[in-house]
Amino acid sequence: SVRGDDYERIGDTAESRTHWVGNEAFMNMSEGHCAALVVSGGRYVCSIYGERPQICRDFGRGSPACSADRWEKRPEGRTLVVV
């Protein structure tokens, strides 16, 4: 989630880059990844790298922890069905 200090650090674009679920803010997603990621030189780079939320600072891009966090926050909900 995007904390208060993250929201402040993102600055003027925070409102358009995030969405609220109850009283928690989250970065907007696009095609399964953070909408702040843009393609540059054939790879994804963060368009707000210097202002990125703390969770992005804590997780390495594409790391297992990052993937797990994305899975948990996917739009379909947080329920995992194992068949």
Residue with more model confidence, 62 or 82? 62
pLDDT at 79: 44
| Distance separating alpha carbons of residues 13 and 22, to the nearest angstrom | 20
Tokens in use for 44? 């994804």
* Per-position DSSP letters for 15-74, written without gaps between them: HHHEEEETTEEEE-EETTEETTEEEETTEEEETTGGG--HHHHHSPTT-HHHHHHHHHT-
> pLDDT-based confidence at 73, cuts 50/70/90?
low
Residue with more model confidence, 74 or 61? 61
> pLDDT-based confidence at 78, cuts 50/70/90?
very low
Query: What values do phi and psi take at 14, rounded to 5?
Result: -60, -40
CB 59 within 8 A of CB 65: yes
The string of pLDDT tens digits covering residues 17-71 is 999 988 889 999 888 788 998 999 988 889 999 999 998 898 877 788 877 877 7
